[in-house]
Amino acid sequence: MKKTLRFWILTLITFSMIAILSSSLFSSFIVTKKSLIENSLKQNEVYSLKLAQMSEEVFESMQANLEARKPDVIKHMDDPKELTNILDQLLISGKNFNSLSVIGNNGVAIATSPNIGIAGNKIDSAGVQEALLKKESIITTPYKAVTGRLVILISTPLFDDANNYLGMLNGTIYLQEDNFIQNILAEHFSEDGSYVFVVDKEGTLIYHPEKDRIGESVQKNMVVQSLMKKESGSIEVFNTQGEQFLAGFTYIPASEWGVVSQTPYESSLNPLNGIMFKVFFYSLPFVCLFFVLAFLLSERLASPLKKLALFTLDSQNEDTNLEKLKLSTWYFEAKQLTETIENYHKKQEETVADFKHQSLTDPLTGLKNRRYSELLFADLLEHHQLFSVIMIDIDHFKRVNDEFGHNAGDEVLKFLANKMQSTSTKKDVCIRLGGEEFIIILPGTLLQDTYMLAEKLRIEIETSIPPTKKKITISSGVAEHKITKESLSDLMQRVDEALYLAKSQGRNKTVISK
């Protein structure tokens, strides 16, 4: 039995629908997968940068504490008891050292805090010998101390007024015990397998969630190799145990260490199945509707040829009347089929446009999201267009969540978003990067005008009544892109540093990046 026109029409439509749906799902799969990977890499890069900045600040503080007490130590080099008192005070005020010691130029320990039983003994450990040899401020690589601990030594030399070398003032960090590195990084382990680790300049683990791995050399890791070259960035990598990760890494100049934040590759793609299910679920009603329409219209579409076939069968009868065959309806039905297909494509395009809009919009505030900012930055850089950036952070936002709850916190975020949109111009783009971090991208706007807009927004927020009825303030960093010589990462680092400076200067400020 030969197949009818209606069968072939339905078959063609079926295959078309399967192809369109498959291509749509495949395209969505590829784009979403790429977006998830890029977002994970960027988040880890930013995360490692922030942790590196925190670590560097602690190092600078530790070295400053040692430098501040040098005059007192030099003054009492011949009084071990007084030196012990000084070290005890420094250990309490410094907070980040596990122990402190004063060692003479002959390598003999004069005083320690706490008392670990080495005072009066000559210290032959690698770190002490390195400090005696260099006679300068250093942060050593990990080594085994005389106490058997795996330690790092932060040392500053001691010279008298005649520039004679007297010895050194040392602070020690116990790597496999509680220390400031663990206090900063230990909380950053996630149930999805994400974690942070730190290596020194020789690729040795300084910190790792698995304490028994501290002191292990991981030089073969590609991320560690980049850090040993004093580089920062993000990369897909296999670690030394053969596991695939999406890693962001930052080099710390003060200590020559590197901080790595990484997420398992598979964990980063966990949302992918859910997203694809939603895409399919949202497309399914349109698919079902189209099949119903196709079923109903196929009969009318095949009707002219059917009438012609019946007329041919009856053509031998004398009573056959040609006027009864109204083939003109064929043209009308062809037009309806065209319009139906056009309507279907229009609906599909609207669906894709809606998905695209959702992928570029922050669902809470209605502002554009991080993905949109990446596309906008790429376009501005490609066309070498002048633009400026305002980076905004709500001061003490954690207190809002703690005091009023996360729902109130969300209302405050929406409040800020509305103020950003009402304050900025039509050409400016307001974006929520995540959490309480927002930026405004101002194409074609000079730095001074950008600063004035940031100040206007800051004052508007300060003088307005937020949803919590309790005053909130914002801090902002402002920067103008240097068209001829500046990368996007350099620009974002500058504006982030300006924001950090605004917060460190007391918050509720706008600081222009230099």
CATH number of 179-268: 3.30.450.20
Strand pairing category for 138-139 and 143-144: unpaired
Domains 60-173 and 179-268 share a fold: yes
Residue 68 in contact with residue 97, Cβ under 8 Å? no
Which residue matches tokens 């004063």?
Answer: 102
Residue 70 in contact with residue 77, Cβ under 8 Å? no
Residue 173 in contact with residue 154, Cβ under 8 Å? yes
Other CB atoms within a 10 A radius of the CB of residue 66 amount to 22
Q: In what order do the strands lie in the sheet with 474-480?
A: 429-434, 437-443, 387-394, 474-480, 510-512
More confident residue, 73 or 146: 73
CATH topology (fold) of 370-512: Alpha-Beta Plaits (3.30.70)
CA-based R_g, the chain, Å: 34
How far, in Å, CA of 402 to CA of 405, rounded? 6
Q: Is the pLDDT of residue 240 over 80?
A: no
Token pair for 283: 């497309």
For 317, the 3-state DSSP assignment is coil
More confident residue, 326 or 234: 234
Average pLDDT over residues 374-392: 93
Average pLDDT over residues 354-377: 87
CATH topology (fold) of 60-173: Beta-Lactamase (3.30.450)
Helix 5-75 to helix 270-313 angle (10° resolution) is 170
More confident residue, 324 or 16: 16
More confident residue, 483 or 393: 393
Closest to 131 (Cα-Cα) out of 172, 86, 89: 172
Token pair for 132: 């005696």
Helix 397-404 to helix 406-423 angle (10° resolution) is 140
Non-local (6+) Cβ contacts of 44 within 8 A are: 194, 234, 246, 247, 248, 261, 262, 263
CA of residue 265 relative to chain centroid, distance = 15
How confident is the model over 25-61, as pLDDT tens digits?
A: 888 888 888 888 888 888 888 878 887 787 777 778 8
Residue 386 in contact with residue 481, Cβ under 8 Å? yes
How far, in Å, CA of 440 to CA of 54, rounded? 26
In angstroms, the Cα distances linking 304 to 16, 300, 322, 326 are 24, 8, 13, 8
What is the DSSP-derived secondary structure letter of residue 513? -
How far, in Å, CA of 46 to CA of 39, rounded? 10
Residue 391, phi then psi, degrees to nearest 5: -105, 130
**% of residues, the chain, pLDDT over 90:** 28
pLDDT given at position 333:
46
Residue 35, phi then psi, degrees to nearest 5: -65, -45
How confident is the model over 386-437, as pLDDT tens digits?
A: 999 999 999 999 988 888 998 999 999 999 999 999 999 999 999 999 888 8
Residues in the chain: 514
Token pair for 106: 């002959």
For 30, the 3-state DSSP assignment is helix
How do the domains of the chain map onto residue ranges? Answer: 60-173, 179-268, 271-359, 370-512
pLDDT given at position 438:
95
Average pLDDT over residues 452-463: 95
pLDDT given at position 302:
67
How far, in Å, CA of 394 to CA of 70, rounded? 40
pLDDT given at position 428:
95
How far, in Å, CA of 416 to CA of 430, rounded? 11
Could you tell me where the DSSP H helices lie in 76-125? Answer: 80-94
